[in-house]
Amino acid sequence: MFTGIITDIGRLRDRIERPSQDLRLVVETDFDGTALPLGASVACSGVCLTVVDRGDNWLAFDASAETASLTTVAAWQKGRRINLERALRLGDELGGHLVLGHVDGMVRVLASEPVDGSVVWRFEMTEAFRRFVAPKGSIAIDGVSLTVNRVQDGSDGATGFFEVNIIPHTAQHTTFGDLKIGDVVNIEIDPIARYVARLTGKL
């Protein structure tokens, strides 16, 4: 389990494709890799992956074919910057919201607009997410815990979207500083919204 507060931006050093269609991902990081045990969980741009090897300044993960197909992992190439967060420990400060590292899907960046020193980012609203995204609710985008500012459902033929506001600190300390219109990002909805939908028979 994670909080959506990014603590390092790693860089993909190597991507090894295997006959099994699984991927071995080697990520350079400022984390002390040797301090993480094998089997530890790390959120990589929102995807919970398991440490299978490590060194002083790098971590290796295996991503299954299914994980690659359901997240942006399949498109990751050498040099890509990746949001990293170690798993939450009991007693840690919960600065964001509860994030599981289980990506619900991918959406595309529609627009960005500078507003009073920050940037408002607009993302497409797919049918799968419409019932789960609400103004002032929480959402994780590439592993970053964010508050939804505005939602348009897309009725009457309009394009559905939701917006978040990114302050300069967030842009500097996450991969939002690299984001461009047309890029695809990982989305994880608030787990509470998922369970409420299940209990009310809407999931």
Per-domain residue ranges of the chain? 8-86, 105-199
pTM equals 0.93
| pLDDT, position 4 | 95
Instruction: Copy the structure tokens of residue 107.
Output: 């959406």
Q: Are 64 and 22 in contact (CB under 8 A)?
A: yes
Q: 33, 82, 31, 40: which is closest to 186 by C-alpha?
A: 82
Tell me the pLDDT of the chain averaged across its residues: 92
Distance CA 28, CA 24 (A): 13
**Which one-letter amino acid corresponds to residue 74?**
A
Name the CATH architecture for the domain at 8-86.
Beta Barrel (2.40)
Q: Give the residue ranges of DSSP H helices in the chain.
A: 65-70, 168-173, 191-199
Asked if 174 and 5 count as a contact pair (C-beta separation under 8 A), the reply is no
Q: 182 near 104, Cβ under 8 Å? A: no
**Which of the listed CATH numbers 3.90.650.10, 1.20.140.10, 3.40.50.300, 2.40.30.20 matches domain 105-199?**
2.40.30.20
Please tell me if the domain spanning 8-86 has the same topology as the one spanning 105-199: yes
Residue with tokens 């590439």: 142
pLDDT digits (tens, 9 = 90+) for 90-103: 777 778 888 999 99
pLDDT score, position 79? 97
> How would DSSP label each residue in 129-171?
TGGG--TT-EEEETTEEEEEEEEE--GGGPPPEEEEEE-HHHH
pLDDT category of residue 167 using cuts at 50, 70 and 90: very high
- State yes or no: pLDDT of 156 exceeds 70: no
Confidence tier at 46 by pLDDT (50, 70, 90): very high
Mean pLDDT of 44-54: 97
